[in-house]
Structure 1
Amino acid sequence: KNDYILIMSEAVTCKTGGAPDAVRQVVLVSAVRTPVGKFMGALAEVPAHVLGAQCIREVLRRANDLSPADVDEVVLGQVLTSGAGQNPARQAAKLAGIPVEVPAHLVNMLCGSGLRAVVTACQAIQCGSSDLVVAGGQESMSLAPHLLHMRRPVKFGDRTAQDSLMCDGLTDAFSSKHMGVTAENVARRYGVSRQDQDNFACLSQNKAEKAQRSDLFKEELLPAAASAVGSDQQEPLLRQDEFRATAPPWKD
């Protein structure tokens, strides 16, 4: 899923101790997201920055057709960047038509990356370095590559490929424990049964399906296309969120 928010400043004059100060209030102007694609699903071959570019274009269009040149900064969260090329935030911004003179940078705080990007954008506005910022997150788990360390010559023997999705995104760097196993440990410690989790998941899925049928997500969803260029004329690959119907991969 790729979420994008357009953030602007609104200067408000107040007085503190008799001296006028400019307090910059942060305003969310526009927001949009692609559908949530399942792992190896309809969006499996679409790079994260391509989905991101589509969202950037749309979030500007929804904000009274703001020009990409009006943007002061782009801040995006992304965890899985192995093999994605230099600075995927810059790639998304440039593909969306934002000038190369506009700074664009990436934030990695794992699952909190997208929200951290929004916080960073707010701070940039509050301190006065930017007035209009595009912030959000982009990710493609399906395109996370396997890695093979071949920097040094191998005289004989095998080499094992490392899954970048696991090592960079899903495995704790300090305990070497997978987050799925951590979830199992937390559930056991606090007495959350498998049945309770299944019931909650089922209720959540039912609510999501009902919301989709009622078009409750219509205002926030942008159908995702295979490329950002000419996406308005392309048949979307995915219009609504995809849901998995598989057993949990950690434990029975």
Structure 2
Amino acid sequence: MSEEAAIKLGKKTKAKVIAQAASGVDPNYMGIGPVPATLKALKMANLRLEDIDIIELNEAFSAQSLAVIKELKMDINKVNPNGGAIAMGHPIGATGAILVTKALHELERTGKRYGLITLCIAGGLGSTTIIENTQI
């Protein structure tokens, strides 16, 4: 919902999407798609990975997650602060919405500013969304 629509309804926004990017890689390297998507989204938002406070990384499987973390040199202390899909499950079709919601609540709880949500998708695809907490 737009900020204008929220105001008309008497609601406050909690966050806004400041960048979203998708990418595709050779399907033989399925799982690494979040890397180029993340680099694109960070460039669109004019941010560096160091600026991101919370990272919700879809854990399709452990080796995939570790490859993305290593390739992007992510701060492991920012990744999936409340657990990931390996512990909580991966309901295909709902994972993206779950990760955005988890990032939103963690930003709100901690008073942090930026959240990055990234997904690896079958066939070599990747998607990254960056949100900004509007409550701070």
Instruction: Classify 1:31/1:69 alpha carbon distance in 2 versus 1 (closer, same or farther; 3 Å).
Output: same
Match of 1:44 in 2: 27
Match of 1:28 in 2: 17
Q: Which residue type is aligned with residue 29 of structure 1?
A: I
State the distance in 1 between where 2:67 and 2:114 align. Answer: 19
Q: Give ranges in structure 2 of 5+ residues lacking alignment.
A: 1-11, 128-136
Of 30, 41, 44, which residue of structure 2 is paired with 1:59?
A: 41
Paired residue secondary structure (1:138): strand
Determine whether 1:119 maps to 2:101: yes
State the distance in 1 between where 2:112 and 2:67 align. Answer: 20
Seq. identity, %: 10
Paired residue secondary structure (1:45): helix
Conserved 8 A contact 2:38-2:118:
no
Q: Which residue type is aligned with residue 69 of structure 1?
A: E
Deviation at 1:45, TM superposition (A): 0.5
Which protein has the bigger helix share? Answer: 2
Match of 1:95 in 2: 71
Deviation at 1:60, TM superposition (A): 0.7
Aligned residues: 108
Q: Which residue type is aligned with residue 57 of structure 2?
A: L
Conserved 8 A contact 2:57-2:84:
yes
Q: What TM-score, normalized by structure 2, do the two folds share?
A: 0.63
Conserved 8 A contact 1:121-1:133:
yes
Match of 2:49 in 1: 68
Paired residue secondary structure (2:29): coil
Q: Which residue type is aligned with residue 28 of structure 2?
A: E
State the distance in 2 between where 1:91 and 1:30 align. Answer: 23
Conserved 8 A contact 2:57-2:79:
no
Determine whether 1:106 maps to 2:88: no
Instruction: Classify 1:62/1:141 alpha carbon distance in 2 versus 1 (closer, same or farther; 3 Å).
Output: closer
Instruction: Classify 1:34/1:141 alpha carbon distance in 2 versus 1 (closer, same or farther; 3 Å).
Output: closer
Backbone CA RMSD of aligned residues? 2.9
Q: What TM-score, normalized by structure 1, do the two folds share?
A: 0.37
Name the larger-Rg structure: 1
